[in-house]
Structure 1
Amino acid sequence: MKKPDLADLTAFAAIVAQRSFRKAADELGLSPSTLSHMMQVLEQNMGVRLLHRTTRSVAPTEAGERLVTRLRPLLRDLDLALEDVNEFRDRPSGILRINTSEPAARLLLERVVPTFLARYPEMSLDLATENRLVDIVAGGFDAGIRLGEALPQDMIAVRFGGEARFVAVASPGYLAGRRTPQTPDDLKDHECIRFRLPSGKFFRWEFARSGQEIALEVPGSLTLDHLGLMAESAARGLGIAYVSVSVAQPYLDQGKLVLVLGEWCPLIPGLFLYYPGNRHVPLGLRAFIDVLKEAE
């Protein structure tokens, strides 16, 4: 067996993490064809097949899974070693990878990112927006951003952006000629635009008033997996949507949407940046947190 080089092993770990040659190539700044050739050379040098490839997906073989399990902590230790050297620099440099949702990313782009990049020109910021919770450690992220009620355990959290609120909204046109819901139970008589979670389950609409809490799996003919599309669909009169105020606000300001059951939609803990508490905090992440706190 010919000993593989670090670049090939790093590329292999990226492919397994992304489950995609294209996404891994984008992350590494390489072409998919170059990455595919690297994996062919790696497998030839090691004398064992590491990846199952199809036209639509890629997954590690049993040997590949065993290799990447051993590789992950080694690559993390390498990153930490390089970061230790970075501590001797006057200013942070490198790439900061953060996993978040699209609405949170928009808030960051408005309040935090311009200042961070201007203040630290040697830093690069990689924001990955997904509609699902991910393991930020396994995914190779330095930090994640989510609502407080969805934070993973054993993480250090930094709050920003204030409290949040999810609201039910509908267009005036949809409500015309219909009885406006007065309680959450009235939603059973309406077309609700449902949100499907990555797990395949429907997101339950949560309401609270005077100490009473209700969580409903609402009826509806339209199901989406993107909050922005839900608000847009509601504005088109397709039903009642349940989205964050930040997503609905542009339509509310234009009069294309109105609140439904507003008194049943209280404030909830807002957004938090979180990162593992048992790992060294990179200098770039510390700098980002400082800017985040300034934006409060």
Structure 2
Amino acid sequence: MKKAGMIELNAVAIVAETRNFRSAARQLGMSASAVSHAISALESRLGVRLFNRTTRSVSLTEAGEGFLEKIAPALKEIESAVEGATEAAARPRGRLRINSSAGGVRGHLMPLLMEYRRRYPDVDIDVASDGRLVDIVAEGFDLGMRLLESVPQDMVAIPLTAQERFLVFGAPEYFERHGRPAVPADLLKHDCVRFRLPGGAIYRWEFERHGEEIRLDVPGRMTLQDMDLILEAAVAGAGLAYMTKRHAAAEIAAGRLQAVLEEWTPPFPGLCLYFSSRRHLPAAVRAFIDLVREMTRTP
């Protein structure tokens, strides 16, 4: 037997309440004949009459009263679930999960998070910043924040920063003692502060000029896993460091670091916020995206 649909069950409940097919039809957004047909079809499949009908009145039969008594609680639960889902779509609440690098949180994400927390106190914010580049959908994150070049092509990306640029930096005292590299290959004769990636591999420094691309596993007596520590080591003269110009901006302005090989490190797209789809986004996610656009003036 064909199962009863929500339209038929709602029709039974509303006709029983209004005792009028036309009034029920207006509530259901249907014609009176369509409501009558839906109930007649349900009665045929059940093999029982649910309503007594005359030209002047409509009333439940004994079987109809028993049927309505059983379906009414379920219909109320469904209505409550629909209202709850609608409310969740309209008001930011629940939990917002974001995956980012630690440097991204410190440099760009924290001001956004604090403003978001102020505006939407019903949302719990959960940020993972262990440095791993993960599949945000598979691991249950709502949003990610990475360099644009690292974002999968099937994601929607919103720019957060202007172009970034990696440069090789050293302290003036270091260059006085060891000289300045003129081409990337010269780095093989220098002491470099190397960066260990979250997975354990050592990051290879990247260079490009006139279509020529070079990746170097530079030598160095110090390997660190935090860019702030690498910056500190470079300022102290421990060796050359490879990081973004933005990260080293304060030390450059103070004269404690100088850049070399600038013609070998062209700019590239900066950080972006990304997510899996524009359709049916939870209210908490949509509110954060809107806040990003507001505070970074992105389109």
Fold shared, TM-score > 0.5 on shorter chain: yes
> How far apart in 2 are the matches of 1:96 and 1:196?
29
> How far apart in 1 are the matches of 2:108 and 2:93?
20
Aligned to 1:186: 186
> How far apart in 1 are the matches of 2:241 and 2:85?
50
CA shift, 1:280, in A, is: 4.3
| Unmatched tracts of structure 2, length 5 or more | 1-80
Aligned to 1:145: 145
**TM-score, normalization by structure 2:** 0.66
Aligned to 1:230: 230
Aligned to 1:290: 290
CA shift, 1:266, in A, is: 1.5
CA shift, 1:189, in A, is: 0.9
Please list the CA deviations of residues 136-176 of structure 1 after superposition, one character each: whole Å capped at 9, or x if unmatched.
Answer: 23332111111111113422222211211111111111111
Aligned to 1:64: none
Question: Aligned to 1:246, what secondary structure does the other structure show?
Answer: coil
Change (3 A) 1:149 1:88: closer
Aligned to 1:115: 115
> How far apart in 1 are the matches of 2:83 and 2:227?
37
Question: Aligned to 2:203, what secondary structure does the other structure show?
Answer: coil
Aligned to 1:257: 257
Q: Is the 2:145–2:271 contact (alpha carbons within 8 Å) kept by the matching residues of 1?
A: yes
Match of 2:158, as an amino acid?
Answer: V
Q: Is the 1:103–1:246 contact (alpha carbons within 8 Å) kept by the matching residues of 2?
A: no
Aligned to 1:130: 130
Q: Is the 1:83–1:282 contact (alpha carbons within 8 Å) kept by the matching residues of 2?
A: no
Aligned to 1:270: 270
> How far apart in 1 are the matches of 2:86 and 2:254?
48
CA shift, 1:204, in A, is: 1.4
Q: Is the 1:87–1:283 contact (alpha carbons within 8 Å) kept by the matching residues of 2?
A: no
| Unmatched tracts of structure 1, length 5 or more | 1-80
Aligned to 1:218: 218
Trace 1:31-110 onto structure 2 (pairs within 5 A): 85=85, 87=87, 90-109=90-109
**TM-score, normalization by structure 1:** 0.66
Tell me the percent identity.
Answer: 44
Moved over 6 A (4+): 81-84
Change (3 A) 1:88 1:223: closer
Number of equivalences: 216
CA shift, 1:84, in A, is: 6.9
